[in-house]
Chain A
Amino acid sequence: AKTFTLLQSEAVFWNGKDLEDLRVDGRGCEDYRCAEVETDVVSNTSGSARVKLGHTDILVGVKAEMGTPKLEKPDEGYLEFFVDCSANATPEFEGRGGEELGTEIANTLYRVFSSESSVDLKSLCINPREHCWVLYVDVLLLECGGNLFDAISIAVKAALFNTRIPKVRVLEDEEGSKEIELSDDPYDCIRLNVDDVPCIVTLSKIGYRHVVDATLQEEACSLASLLISVTSKGALTSMKKVGKGSLDPESIFEMMEMGKRVGKSLHIALQKILDEEESLGTSRQKVGFLG
């Protein structure tokens, strides 16, 4: 980022050659900043979630619409990702500045969710070869405070958990024409099983150490990072290296192990908060945006 041309050596003060687990804000290398999660924040979506991780603020909306299944997967629905880097997030996103980053994030999400076990796409099928549910996942970056990928993946999982897809029945009459009937009860919905939805853990190499959940300053000091997507069971579904610097194979192995460990804790914490929020039911006070 333009405003943060920090030097690699400043990071050395923070993470030194000696093996001490202390970052500038007192966190250890495997600690996340305090996160706030809220679902069902956008009323005209099938599901939504807002995640605040430090100064990073992400809003995700999921809209379920009927579409035609893809030719090669006739009995499955699918997900479409779109990422909008709002100009509110940082001045660099003014005009079309955020397009490149938005496309990169969307492509990463496609890759993370490309694994067959992430979401049960067969449950999104209505009528093989003819009708299926398409989930349009829209990600909006409200504020950039470092560690975008992790926050976005948490928000996507929370939004998918919150998604309610109306139950439909396909009626076929004598002439063979099909009619789709929507249930009268607005609360009659199907929900997605998000148990195997992966979350992204970004590990940044700063000096000789690897840290998770880097702030903007820490990202500026890091020459290389590894993005891995981990499921709640600790399975790695994809991996991507970013940054100009290089990583030696031993580092990569260490980062993968750290990522799996941290990823499992991330899923546990997220599921706990989602369950807690759900248990509050209608008595929950929605905070939203002006709270």
Chain B
Amino acid sequence: MAAVSMRLPVARKAVGPSAPRGGEKHLVAPGDTITTDTGYMRGHGTYVEEEKLIASVAGAVERVNKLVCVRALKTRYNGEVGDIVVGRITEVQQKRWKVETNSRLDSVLLLSSMNLPGGELRRRSAEDELAMRDYLQEGDLISGVLVQVSPSLVKRQKTHFHDLPCGASVILGNNGFIWIYPTPEQKDEEAGGFTTNLEPVPLSDREVISRLRNCIVALVTQNLMLFDTSILYCYEASLSHQIKDILKPEVMEEIVLETRQRLLDLEG
């Protein structure tokens, strides 16, 4: 049965600022004057014009002693040591793979850094390169959904691999790529790098994954930080709606408001 819903547009309501944590942030837009004090050194996101320090990006001002910089709210991913990233392989080259990670340049994954399941050691040779194709080839079936969001919305946490109680697992990449997949049955080969799951995913799992995906999109649209608790609360708030309705503007507002409330209650 076809379902087509059309509506008249509604003017966007200005969302009030959520409770500030740890003091007010000094937010600037491109062209805003940060300071007229010439004693400061200019950092990223700023420039000097007529003895005034002006912001060149939209973001929050950060001050470290004499260095003033503006950290942009929406940027490409800038990697840091220890980050977890999720990438999409775009090219296969001689000894490496080109990976798309929403950064300024394409990332590179060397064959020598690949860990095989079982953790066996192997010699890096020509046979090794060819043997790689036994594990993964172009066009292989991947069970899971990738959601791409802005890197600034992924909260830094101790771990980015989460097995949610609703039956799916997520990997929250610091680069804004979020991988949602059905929780694997057993967890034996911890030392390995990946599992090759080629079975079709059951409908119940796919519904959970679709729901999670829509919840993440809803959180991102309302600019809420993404972490395991916020995603879970949003999932629970969405259960009273059909999966496809979650993306309707009024439903998104409702469930994110509920999520925001629960998160505030958690803190307070």
Q: Which residues of B contact A281 (CB under 8 A)?
A: none
Residue from A25, A28, A285 with most neighbouring chain B CB atoms (10 Å): A25
| A interface footprint on B108-138 (CB within 8 Å = 1, 0 otherwise) | 0000000000000000000000000000001
Report A60 CB to chain B, min CB distance, Å.
15
| A interface footprint on B168-186 (CB within 8 Å = 1, 0 otherwise) | 0000000000000000000
CA distance A269 to B144 in the complex (A): 34
| B interface footprint on A266-283 (CB within 8 Å = 1, 0 otherwise) | 101110110011000000
Within 8 Å of chain B (Cβ to Cβ): is A27?
yes
Q: Which of A9, A212, A285 is in CB contact (< 8 Å) with B140?
A: A9
Within 8 Å of chain B (Cβ to Cβ): is A180?
no
Report A57 CB to chain B, min CB distance, Å.
11
Within 8 Å of chain B (Cβ to Cβ): is A88?
no
Residue of B nearest to A264 (CB): B2
Within 8 Å of chain A (Cβ to Cβ): is B15?
no
Q: Which residues of A contact B243 (CB under 8 A)?
A: 22, 25-26
Q: Is the CB of B9 within 8 A of A287?
A: yes
Main secondary structure of the interface of A (DSSP, over half): mixed
Q: Is the CB of B1 within 8 A of A22?
A: no
Query: Which residues of chain B in 134-182 are interfacial with respect to chain A, using CB atoms and an 8 Å cutoff?
Result: 138-145
Q: Is the CB of B8 within 8 A of A37?
A: yes
Within 8 Å of chain B (Cβ to Cβ): is A31?
yes
Q: Which residues of A contact B138 (CB under 8 A)?
A: 7
Report A272 CB to chain B, min CB distance, Å.
7
Within 8 Å of chain B (Cβ to Cβ): is A82?
no
Query: Which residues of chain B in 1-27 are interfacial with respect to chain A, using CB atoms and an 8 Å cutoff?
Result: 1-12
Q: Is the CB of A26 within 8 A of B2?
A: no
| B interface footprint on A1-40 (CB within 8 Å = 1, 0 otherwise) | 0000101111011101110101111111011111111100
Within 8 Å of chain B (Cβ to Cβ): is A265?
yes
Known contacts A276-B8, A291-B11, A30 near B3 by CB under 8 Å: yes
Q: Is the CB of A17 within 8 A of B200?
A: yes
Q: Is the CB of A9 within 8 A of B142?
A: yes
Q: Is the CB of A20 within 8 A of B2?
A: no
CA distance A32 to B3 in the complex (A): 6
Within 8 Å of chain A (Cβ to Cβ): is B207?
yes
Q: Which of B4, B7, B90, B214 is in CB contact (< 8 Å) with A5?
A: B90
Q: Is the CB of A25 within 8 A of B210?
A: yes
Within 8 Å of chain B (Cβ to Cβ): is A261?
yes
Q: Which of B5, B90, B213 is in CB contact (< 8 Å) with A25?
A: B213
Q: Is the CB of B145 within 8 A of A266?
A: no
Q: Which of A22, A28, A52, A212 is in CB contact (< 8 Å) with B207?
A: A22
Q: Is the CB of B142 within 8 A of A13?
A: yes
Within 8 Å of chain B (Cβ to Cβ): is A89?
no
Known contacts A18-B200, A25-B210, A25-B244, A31 near B3 by CB under 8 Å: yes
Known contacts A25-B244, A28-B244, A287 near B11 by CB under 8 Å: yes
Q: Which residues of B contact A285 (CB under 8 A)?
A: 11
Report B110 CB to chain A, min CB distance, Å.
22
| A interface footprint on B228-268 (CB within 8 Å = 1, 0 otherwise) | 00000000000000111111110000000000000000000
Report A257 CB to chain B, min CB distance, Å.
12
CA distance A17 to B199 in the complex (A): 11
CA distance A16 to B198 in the complex (A): 12
Within 8 Å of chain B (Cβ to Cβ): is A160?
no
Q: Which residues of B contact A9 (CB under 8 A)?
A: 139-142
Residue of B nearest to A285 (CB): B11
Q: Is the CB of A38 within 8 A of B9?
A: yes
Within 8 Å of chain B (Cβ to Cβ): is A262?
yes
Nearest first, the 7 closest Cβ-Cβ pairs linking A and B are A26-B243, A26-B244, A291-B11, A30-B2, A287-B9, A265-B2, A269-B4
A-B residue pairs in contact (CB < 8 Å), sample of 19: A5-B90, A7-B138, A9-B140, A9-B142, A10-B142, A12-B141, A26-B243, A30-B3, A31-B2, A31-B244, A32-B2, A33-B247, A34-B6, A36-B9, A38-B9, A265-B3, A272-B6, A273-B6, A277-B8
